[in-house]
Amino acid sequence: AQTVTQSQPEMSVQEAETVTLSCTYDTSESDYYLFWYKQPPSRQMILVIRQEAYKQQNATENRFSVNFQKAAKSFSLKISDSQLGDAAMYFCAYRSLLGSGTASKLTFGTGTRLQVTL
Amino acid sequence: DVKVTQSSRYLVKRTGEKVFLECVQDMDHENMFWYRQDPGLGLRLIYFSYDVKMKEKGDIPEGYSVSREKKERFSLILESASTNQTSMYLCASSLMTSSYEQYFGPGTRLTVT
């Protein structure tokens, strides 16, 4: 079974600065998807960024980018020019491409709570 | 925009009560999911459905059942609520193929007293 580990329960960043959230995972599969989801306080979880394992190029979405190290099984999220609206719980998630049924499920890490200070 | 709605944001029930949590999505998604979110544990999958009347157990199905009679609606049932089922419950939906992105509802915070 796959596992996802987020070793930083809480992080803090000053507005306009850059912060990196860590995520490692364990799998024996070669093809999979990785995701970062954001859950703002009292608001719905939304997708921030996605990475296909077969792609060597790191995904980027505006101020959000990932550092995907397949051999090291590492998938960190970098937030540049942090804004107050970035304050949220961030979850790293893994999705297998094999099989069906609950193989379609997402395996989540325990989350990192990001504070953004003035 | 995909919309996933859940019947209640907050719910308080007594031990032993039968509890229904409803989830509706409006994008004709085949897959629907129920997760439980607890601090320090992340999200854990309770049940999953990939078609009407089809369901599969997730990682923590004990004490729960589900119903999917229509494609857009997926219900989570606590047959006899217990205090250890106090939690945040999140519903999600996705297409069977394509981007695999899951779209989440706002969550139901259930308290069992």
> What is the structure's pLDDT at A103?
59
Contact A95 B100 (CB under 8 A): yes
Q: What is the pLDDT of residue B96?
A: 74
pLDDT band at B2 (very low <50, low <70, confident <90, very high): low
B90 HSE (CA, 13 A, CB side): 22
Query: How does residue A14 score in pLDDT terms, banded at 50, 70 and 90?
Result: very high
End-to-end CA distance of chain A: 41
A91: chain B residues, CB-CB within 8 Å: 42-43
User: Is A111 in contact with B42 (Cβ distance < 8 A)?
Assistant: yes
Shortest alpha-carbon distance between residue B25 and chain A (Å)? 14
Q: What is the pLDDT of residue A19?
A: 98
pLDDT at A62: 95
Q: Please state, in angstroms and rounded to a whole number, the distance separating the CA atoms of residues A30 and A52.
A: 10
pLDDT digits (tens, 9 = 90+) for B48-83: 998 898 899 999 999 999 999 999 999 999 999 999
pLDDT for residue A6 is more than 90: yes
From A20-24, B1-5, B33-37, the region with the lowest mean pLDDT: B1-5
Closest-CA distance of chain B to residue A109, Å: 6
How many angstroms away from the CA of A115 is the closest CA of chain B? 17
**In this model, does residue A99 exceed pLDDT 90?**
no
Residue B23 has pLDDT above 90, yes or no: yes
Q: What are phi and psi of A86, to 5 degrees?
A: -80, -10
Q: Given a cut of 90, is residue A110 above it in pLDDT?
A: yes
Residue of A102, A116, A107 whose CA lies nearest to B55: A102
Residues of A in contact with B102 (CB under 8 A): 47, 106
Using the predicted structure, report yes or no on whether residue A100 has a pLDDT greater than 80: no
The band of A101, judged by pLDDT with boundaries at 50, 70 and 90, is low
Confidence of residue A42 (pLDDT cuts 50, 70, 90): confident
CB contact under 8 Å between A101 and B56, yes or no, is yes
Q: Which CA distances in Å does B73 have to A31, A44, B28, B42, B70?
A: 31, 18, 10, 24, 6
Pick from A102, A108, A110: CB nearest B48:
A102
**Whats the size of chain B, residue-wise?**
113
**Which is more confidently placed, B100 or B55?**
B55
**Average pLDDT of the residues in B40-47:** 93
Q: Which residues of A touch B (CB under 8 A)?
A: 4, 6, 9, 33, 35, 37, 43-47, 50, 91, 95, 100-102, 104-106, 108-111
Query: Shortest CB distance from B43 goes to which of A50, A95, A108?
Result: A108
Average pLDDT, chain A: 92
User: In whole numbers, what is the pLDDT of chain B averaged over residues?
Assistant: 92
Q: Which residues share a beta bridge with B47?
A: B34, B57
